[in-house]
Amino acid sequence: MFSHLRLRREPVKVGPDPREMPILRLDASPTLPISIFAINNLSENAKRRLYRTLLPPPLLMRFRISPVSWKDVGDVPRVRLDAAPGSSSVAISILHPADATEPFFLLELADNNINGFELNFISLHDPDGPRFDVDRDAEGNQTHFGTVRRNLAEEEKAMHAGLAPIQLRRNLGAAQLVFDQLELFMAFAAHQAYSLEPLTYAAAWVFERRGFAYVRGHKLMNDIQREFQPGGRLHAALDGSTPFRQPEQWRTVRGRAWAIHDGILETIGLQWDHLRMIKQLGKHAGVETFPDAVY
């Protein structure tokens, strides 16, 4: 369910350019932040050693992939690293030994200018579960997370299978491992926080539970909570007019998420956009915009 992030917009520059922090300055202080740009300009072997810390060994071993060599039992490479010299971002993905057509894990990080990282994308799903083609319409065109076009038939199947909007497959159940590993990498790189933009309501709720706070969008989440209560305008708009607007959907995170994905916020003059969240290293913000929620 974590393929739920929007590619970042260019942030306002409020700190030093990551390119001004070369990795050769590491001897100066153990608290000096290391940029992805600096790591990407190292040798391929050095990059591999450093970025190896982004992948939880138990996750790799679950699929019989070596955490050191990144190869499966047949000696076939199963981890892809995209960290081009001169780039300020890194993407790392894991391919299933039985199906190398699509990664079941994908993580993309980028530098920002506020002593932190930007989590541009994360996807973590069970490669053995059924796939729902919500990423392409009936003619095979990309839906761009349902923002440009939609595959309503596949979305309805996914919803009834218990998935949230834009999920292709069911959860892998290893999210805590991944986020713990990400914070370990942050500590290694001497960064204090990382940011993201949740693409769906379900994603925002999940990241709240992971300890994130809102830089932008907290009011929208509170408005959604209020208007989905009985007597609220969003509650009234759950009129059964589409499969994604059934009367009981206000009770669950997924139900609300599907209604929002279906455009229900337009009924109250709002839209799902411009949310931004941040997580500080080792801290849980305690934000809860849907108290006692059922997912």
Residues 217-234 have pLDDT tens digits of: 999 999 999 999 999 999
**Contact indicator for 214, 275 with CB cutoff of 8 Å:** yes
CA terminus-to-terminus distance, the chain: 12
Mean local confidence (pLDDT), 223-249 = 98
Longest CA pairwise span in the chain (Å)? 63
Eight-state DSSP code of residue 88: S
106 has which bridge partners?
Answer: 93, 123
CA distance 32 to 14: 17
**Residue 18 C-alpha from the chain's centroid:** 23
pLDDT band at 27 (very low <50, low <70, confident <90, very high): low
Q: Which long-range contacts (CB under 8 A, 24 or more apart) does 9-18 make?
A: 11/112, 11/113, 11/114, 11/118, 12/113, 13/113, 14/113, 14/114, 15/113, 15/114, 15/115, 16/113, 17/113, 18/88, 18/111, 18/112, 18/113
Q: Across the chain, how many H-helices and E-strands are there?
A: 9, 7
- Of the candidates 49, 196, 188, the residue with the CA atom closest to the CA atom of residue 122: 196
- Of the candidates 57, 124, 53, 92, the residue with the CA atom closest to the CA atom of residue 66: 57
Fold classification of 18-214+273-280 (topology level): Aminopeptidase (3.40.630)
Q: Does 197 have pLDDT greater than 90?
A: yes
Mean local confidence (pLDDT), 46-64 = 95
Mean local confidence (pLDDT), 43-64 = 95
pLDDT tens by residue, 72-130: 999 999 999 999 999 999 999 999 877 778 899 999 999 987 778 999 999 999 999 99
Mean local confidence (pLDDT), 49-58 = 96
Mean local confidence (pLDDT), 44-55 = 95
Element (H, E) at 279: strand 276-280
Stronger pLDDT, 12 or 99, i.e. the higher one: 99
**Contact indicator for 246, 240 with CB cutoff of 8 Å:** yes
**Contact indicator for 278, 192 with CB cutoff of 8 Å:** no
In the chain, % of residues over pLDDT 90: 80
